[in-house]
Amino acid sequence: MQYAVREAAASTQNLSFKVRVRNTGDEPIALSDVTIRYWFTADGASSAFVGECDFTEVAGGRDGITRTFGTTSGTGADRYLELGFPSAAGNLAPGATSGETQIRIHSADYEHMMQMNDHSFDATLTAWTSWENMTAYRDGVLAWGVEP
């Protein structure tokens, strides 16, 4: 799981980042078996959240990337956005990466949110970084990272 920040401001209307999956195993994996979670705090936003896929290099395109919000409790998170990949994304060979996917999270009313207190955010990570504060799951089982 690799991450890079796109919007580094402490307060923003859009939580914005890019992700890619890296297969560190010895066997190919189906990307459709993988989900990713970005953990954040609602910071009092009163409207529903929207997840946008601005760009992806993954086969199946932007509309193929599923975006599902959930709630949780933990340090640095009371919400998460879970990303999923379509079957058209195919298999990821050992050592390969999925290609870049750019994501934005905002409230329906574009209310400002603080990122500095979010589990998955780090303003200093502007280049691709293996980032354990975003989690990856294979068939629903935690395969990478640390949940809040």
Burial class (CB in 10 A: 0-12, 13-18, 19+), 71: exposed
| CA–CA distance, 117 with 39 (Å, rounded to integer) | 10
Average pLDDT along the chain, 148 residues, taken 10 residues at a time: 96 97 96 98 89 97 97 95 97 97 96 96 98 97 97
- Return the CATH number at 18: 2.60.40.710
Look at residue 79 in the predicted model and tell me its pLDDT.
97
Identify the pLDDT of residue 44. Answer: 82
pLDDT of 103: 99
Number of domains in the chain: 1
pLDDT at 98 (0 to 100): 96
Of 34, 35, 40, 48, residue with least CA distance to 16: 40
For residue 144, how many other CB atoms are within 10 A of its CB? 19
What residues make up the domain containing 87?
Answer: 2-144
* The pTM of the whole model exceeds 0.85: yes
Q: Give dist(CA 78, CA 46) in Å, integer.
A: 14
